[in-house]
Amino acid sequence: MILLRKSELEGKIVTTGTVPPAREMAALMDQFIPAIPLLKITDGGEPWLAGSRCRKCDAIFPGDRAVCASCGDRHSIESIRLAQRGTLYNFTVVYRSFSGVKTPFVAAIVDLEGGGSLRGTLLEVEPDPEKLRRDMPVKIVFRDTGQTNQEGRAFLAYYFITAEEPGS
């Protein structure tokens, strides 16, 4: 399980390096709201990524779908959990963005293990196009975005960080 280590929440909430007990976890995560619908948080406080799979044509979609956009079938969509590991398919380094957005950052496209592809920000790498390696393994982490809604609740988002090579 990858969530709520101190480093990953940037020290905002968790003060120890260990994963807290379930009840504490639920209380902690209660402060957050998902920044995007496909990010869900269980009652136990565990963030996860929702997806949909078509039993008929095997297409996989991030988020919830009612009808398969690939084959049009209305009765074959099942809800799945998307994998939290994948590989860096493609990227750009963004140097100029909308005002107020901190640059540079790596805008990445990650193909998830088992299907589905997400766009997101790749953290903890040097934002240098020459140094980023396509197909490198990455994993999903969940972090406080630093943004809050009108009620003061923090938006929780998924991000990518590099993962160790499998087997290493």
Q: Which residues bind other proteins (CB under 8 A)?
A: 35-36, 59-63, 69-70, 89-103, 105, 107-111, 115-121, 129, 134, 145, 147-150, 155, 157, 159
Residue among 3 and 118 whose Cβ is closer to other proteins = 118
In degrees rounded to 5, what are phi and psi of residue 6?
Answer: -55, -45
108-123 burial, b at 16+ Cβ within 10 Å, e below that, comes to bbbbbeebbebebbbb
Q: How far apart are CB 166 and other proteins at their closest, in Å?
A: 21
How far apart are the C-alpha atoms of 157 and 155, rounded to whole Å?
7
Residue among 150 and 168 whose Cβ is closer to other proteins = 150
| DSSP SS3 for 115 | coil
Q: How far apart are CB 15 and other proteins at their closest, in Å?
A: 25
Q: How far apart are CB 16 and other proteins at their closest, in Å?
A: 26
Residue among 4 and 158 whose Cβ is closer to other proteins = 158
